[in-house]
Structure 1
Amino acid sequence: MANEQLDRYTPVFAIAAAAELAEMHPQTLRQYDRIGLVSPRRTRGNTRRYSLHDVAQLREVARLSIEGLSLEGIRRVFQLEAKVRDLETRVRDLERTLTEEQLRRPDRRVFAAGSAGGEVITLHRGTRVRRAAEVVVWKP
C-alpha cells in the first residue's frame, strides 16, 4: 500500500472508527452493509474497511432518515444520484467527442428537420433553413 495514492475512496477506517466519524453505532453500520445501503470494501481477512466517501454516505443516510425517508427511499436516492453521475460523465464524453470531430472535420455538414413531414435534410456549413411563414387553419 506504500505505492498507492490515498483519496476519498481509499478504504482505511475500521468499523469502530467509521462509526465514530459517522456518529452512529457500529451495529448500525453492519445493518446498512447487510442491506446494501453503504457497503464498505473488505480486507483479505474479510473485515470491513470504510473510506471517507463511505463515512459521508453514512452521514447522508442519517440526514435523509431524519428528514423522514425510509431506508429503501434512501437507497433509491443513492441509486439515482449514481445514475446522474454516470449520465453526466457520458454527456461530457459525448461533448468531447463532438468537439474533437468538429475540429477534425471543418467541412462537416449540418442536419435539420424539413418542413414537410419532419424528414431530415442535409445543410452545408453556413446555410440557413428558409422558414415557411404560412398560416394553417385547422378545422375538426
Structure 2
Amino acid sequence: MGSEIRRSMPVLPISIVMQLTDLTARQIRYYEEHNLVQPHRTEGNRRMFSLNDVDVLLEIKEMLERGTNMAGIKKVFAMKKHVNTEGKKEISDRELRRIMREEMLQARSMQKTSIRQGNFTRFYK
C-alpha cells in the first residue's frame, strides 16, 4: 500500500483530530462548512478524517495565526486546487509567495492596488 493511500485513508474520529490540531469541534465543522476540509462520513454519519485532512486543518490554523482571514484562506486553497486541476503538482508555499509578490509588484508599478494585496500584505513585510 502506497504512502499517499495510507495518508488519505479516513481513520481518525473528530475527537482525535481535536487533540492533534488543538482545534475545537465547532472550528473543524466550520471549516468543513466552508469546504476547506471534506472528511469521510461513516454509515452512522460520523466524521472520519485522514492524515491529509489533519494537515489541511493545521495549515488553516497556521494561516489564521499569521492573520489571514477566511476569505484569504479560501483564495489560497482555490489557487492550489486550480493548479492541481491543470495537471501540475501541488503549488508550494514558496511558489505561492513568489506569485503573490510578482502580482503585487506589477500592480504597484502600474500604481494600482492588487486585488489580493489586502489579504496577503502580511507575507511581504
Aligned counterparts, 1:22-33, within 5 A: 22-33=21-32
1:14 corresponds in structure 2 to: 13
Aligned counterparts, 1:115-126, within 5 A: none
- What residue identity is the alignment partner of 1:53? N
Please list every run of at least 4 consecutive aligned residues from structure 1 whose deviation after the TM superposition is greater than 3 angstroms. none
Aligned counterparts, 1:121-140, within 5 A: none
Q: TM-score with structure 1 length normalisation?
A: 0.56
Q: TM-score with structure 2 length normalisation?
A: 0.62
Cα displacement (A) at 1:88: 3.8
Question: Which structure dedicates a bigger proportion of its chain to helix?
Answer: 2
Equivalents in 2 of 1:31, 1:88: separation in Å? Answer: 29
Aligned counterparts, 1:1-140, within 5 A: 7-89=6-88
Which structure has the higher relative contact order (CA within 8 Å, separation 6+)?
A: 2
Equivalents in 2 of 1:84, 1:67: separation in Å? Answer: 23
2:101 corresponds in structure 1 to: none
Deviations 1:73-117 (A, max 9, x none): 111211111221222449xxxxxxxxxxxxxxxxxxxxxxxxxxx
Instruction: Name structure 2 gaps, 5 residues minimum.
Output: 90-125
Deviations 1:51-79 (A, max 9, x none): 00000000000111111111121112111
Cα displacement (A) at 1:6: 5.0
- What residue identity is the alignment partner of 1:43? T
Cα displacement (A) at 1:42: 0.8
Identity of aligned residues (%): 31
- What residue identity is the alignment partner of 1:52? L
Q: Tell me which structure has the larger Cα radius of gyration.
A: 1
- What residue identity is the alignment partner of 2:28? L
Instruction: Name structure 1 gaps, 5 residues minimum.
Output: 91-140
